[in-house]
Structure 1
Amino acid sequence: MPGRYEGEPPGSTEDDDFFGGAGADDGYAEEEVTPPARRKRRGLRIAIVSLVTVALLGVGVVAGYVAFLNWKVSNNVTHAQLLPDSPIRGEDSEVTPSAPERPVSAGDAMNILVIGSDSRDTSSDRGRSDVMVLMHISDERDRVDLIHFPRDYFVQIPGSERKNKLNASYAFGGAPLLVETLQPLIGVPVDHVAVTDFESFQALTDSVGGVDVNVREASPGFEVGMTHMDGETGLRFVRERYNLSQGDISRGQRQQEFIKAVMLNVLTRETFTNPARLANVVDAATANLTVDDALKVSDMRDLGWALRNLRGDDIHFVTAPWSGIGSDDLAGSIVIPHNAQLDTLREHLQSDTMEDYSDEVSPRSGFGG
């Protein structure tokens, strides 16, 4: 990841400074006089630095508040070896990492693997990951595609003699083996990894006062239509799969609906102009967050600045292509990948043309063939 972006905030040379250092407020004084009409047009921006300045804090207060948020993020985020940079012990044999080459056509597009698990402990009993989402950030930093890979996706795991569910790779060899398993499917290197747990998921939801989620398929306790959910309710909503028409696929779609609802609640002026609410959101989002050793806090800040023009309709959700749901003697219930459509997805990731990607082959109802 480049250390700087065009037009990024001053003070971004500090490696571990999320908000750009003690002098960061000086670089944003012009935001205080930006016409209201212009501010309104900016919509849902992720530029935390500039939006913090818009808050009714005054220039003198901003410096102290930014320092507080910087301290909060730096102390919350944990770093660990999540990328495969050394031999990995697989289920049956050792695996030598081998990442695909970054295609020239991809430019500076970035791929971040987000893992949601019951446990954030990356060094002991990991269990299996319940959420696996590839965040593809375009070269121009004007689009984000969140690609959900079902936990039961039936794949070949390096170091295993037989195919298994995708999330079994996390149980066998942690995040590094999951990355090593995923990269051949997507044809591009995974640049960074972030692991969070469901406690953080619940806390983030509560920090914005709950969210309104569009329930597209009813299940016990949830009727079709818009429903307001707090963190505990949301956790039950996204974990359900046995009462849904397409099982793990439907659960993934629920997770996408919920993620979108949370993002739309977080990325609002109400959040960024309310110091107490912003502090709660930042704390909840980072309290149980583990990232790879190469992803510095300053890189997270710089990426946020590069995405400052992102709006709600610039965020898109995709499910990894599949052809049906079956069973395997070893793995049990599985989601069968649609290999031809997976090749198409891979091509669009490699060329950074996700805006042209569409999936007309994955089943829209039932369990496919």
Structure 2
Amino acid sequence: MPQSQQSAEVETTVPEDQPSDVEPIEAKKPRRRKGRRIVLITLLVLALLGVGGAVAGGLYLRSVESGIERVDAFEEVPQADRPEIVAKEAMNIMILGSDSRDPEKTTGSRTDTIILAHVPQDRKSAQLISIPRDTWVQVPKSKDGQHGGREAKINAAYAWGGVPLMVQTVEKFTKVHIDHVVIIDFAGFKEIIDALGGIDINSEKSFTSIHPPFRTFKQGMQRMDGETALDYARQRKQFADGDFARIRHQQQVIKAILDKAASGGLLTNPGKLNDFIQAASKSVSVDKKMSLMDTASQLRNLRGGNLVFMTSPTRGTGKVGSESVVFANEEKAKTFYDAVRRDAVSEIMSAAK
């Protein structure tokens, strides 16, 4: 029987979960090249500042659009098996994250963070839903037919079939049609944070890092440089709820980056903006269909205070064979994702509590 674990709730936090026992079958990492440019962070910063449609913002977006790293996210996804698009004007973006330089990471080709970002039709808010990486789900068969077709941890899909199988798995689990995919290496956030001059984080308690140089984090608000913030975001073993604490810390770091970028005069300081873009360019790629210009224009009225982090409904943790897993709360998840599918924002917020 699963141990009791908190159900989904609205949080100010980003996903990761208990240690994954799924080993990758093949290393299928997206290609990296020097020309890759920042997408999600720049996009949100420009949108938060309301300059998506401005001349300067538009020119800048055009300058980075051509260098965006693209991945084949949907080409291998059987169209007949995809969920119906119910709210045609809403937008759902799947954000996949990993931390390639995590000291505890011993295997590759695994996604530690899975977020379904729902942007309603009115574009005035966004709900970022973290799906724990150890959530036990049905994974469809991979294109080569050698993997999947059975229940497993949700992040096994990425190891077995890359982004396309991850799209299939998340869509099968949520019944929500995914419009775009963004992939982030959180290790690159170090340079992003340093380019911003550091960020402010409110630690929930005092604790010592388990990684060298074994920093001590004091309870309360403090300024962190990139290395310190990344170390903070990796900690989980000092907390009773393990990787759920690391989810909260990651979400804190992401929110702090957006807050600092929006309030620190980033767009009025060309040198600072260039450092920010160059740092972030090493960490992000997107699907082939995503237009930075179009998306920034659509999100120009979005504000930081309207970004809400929440977690997919769960009913606890437990074991399946030798694997530690997170069990979805099927009844609550059905209601919750039905609200997402219909773009019923008030119901999304209510169902997540």
Please give the range of the TM-score, normalised by the shorter of the 2 chains. 0.7 to 0.9
| 1:174 and 2:162 aligned | yes
* Runs of 5+ unmatched residues, structure 2: 1-37, 39-46, 102-106, 142-147, 209-215
Q: Is the 8 A contact 1:47 1:307 kept in 2?
A: no
Alpha-carbon distance between aligned partners in 2 of 1:323 and 1:102, rounded to the nearest angstrom: 28
Q: Give, in angstroms, the shift of residue 242 of structure 1.
A: 2.0
Report SS of the residue matched to 2:297: helix
Counterpart in the other structure of 1:78: 69
**Pairing 1:136–2:131 present:** no
Aligned partner of 1:226 among 208, 212, 221: 221
Gaps of at least 5 residues in structure 1 are: 1-17, 19-42, 54-65, 88-94, 363-369
* Structure with greater Cα Rg: 1
Structure 1 residue 238 and structure 2 residue 228: aligned?
no
Aligned equivalent of 2:153: 165
Match for residue 19 of structure 2?
A: none
The residue correspondences of 1:255-294 to structure 2 (distance < 5 A) are 255-268=250-263, 270-294=265-289
* Conserved? CA contact 1:126–1:174, under 8 Å: no
Distance 1:327 1:245 in 2: 18
Q: Relative to structure 1, is the Cα distance of residues 119 and 255 closer, same or farther in structure 2, using a 3 angstrom cutoff? A: closer
What pairs with 1:1-369 in structure 2 (closer than 5 Å)?
44-48=48-52, 50=54, 52=56, 70-75=62-67, 77-83=68-74, 85-86=75-76, 98-103=81-86, 106-119=87-100, 126-159=108-141, 160-220=148-208, 221-268=216-263, 270-295=265-290, 299-330=291-322, 332-358=323-349
What TM-score results when the alignment is normalised by the length of structure 2? 0.74
Greater Cα shift, 167-176 or 321-330: 321-330
Indicate if the aligned counterparts of 2:206 and 2:219 stay in contact, CA closer than 8 A. Answer: yes
> What SS does structure 1 have at the residue aligned with 2:260?
helix
Helix, strand or coil: the match of 1:342? Answer: helix
Cα deviation for residue 180 of structure 1 reads: 0.7
| Mapped contact 1:211–1:228 kept (Cα < 8 A) | yes
CA displacement at 1:86 relative to structure 2 = 2.2
How far off its partner does 1:96 sit?
8.2
Q: Is the 8 A contact 1:73 1:286 kept in 2?
A: no
Distance 1:308 1:278 in 2: 19
C-alpha separation between the residues in 2 aligned to 1:323 and 1:217?
A: 26
* Structure 1 residue 155 displacement after superposition: 1.3
Deviation digits for residues 42-92 of structure 1 (CA, Å, limit 9, x no counterpart): x94252553947xxxxxxxxxxxx7576434532x2112122x326xxxxx
Distance (Å, rounded) in 1 between the aligned partners of 2:60 and 2:89 = 32
Instruction: Give distance in 2, aligned partners of 1:339 and 1:218.
Output: 36
Mapped partners of 1:162, 1:174: distance in 2:
16
Report which of the two has the higher share of helix: 1
Q: Which amino acid aligns with 1:260?
A: K
- Give 1:148 deviation, angstroms: 0.8
C-alpha RMSD over aligned residues: 2.8
Q: Deviations over 1:190-234 (max 9, x none)?
A: 111111213322222121111101222443232321122221112
Greater relative contact order (Cα 8 A, min sep 6): structure 1 or 2?
2
2:207 and 2:327 mapped to 1: Cα distance? Answer: 24
Q: Kindly provide the CA deviation profile for residues 265-291 of structure 1, in whole angstroms up to 9, marking residues without a partner as x.
A: 112361121121122223333333211
Check 1:359–1:244 CA distance in 2 against 1; reply closer, same or farther (3 A cut). Answer: farther
Assess if the C-alpha contact under 8 Å between 1:116 and 1:129 holds in 2.
Answer: yes
Distance 1:248 1:326 in 2: 14
Percent identity over the alignment is: 33
Q: 1:269 to 1:49 in 2, by over 3 A?
A: farther
SS at match of 1:226: strand
Quick one: structure 1 residues 73 and 280, their matched pair in 2 at CA, closer, same or farther if it must change by over 3 Å? farther
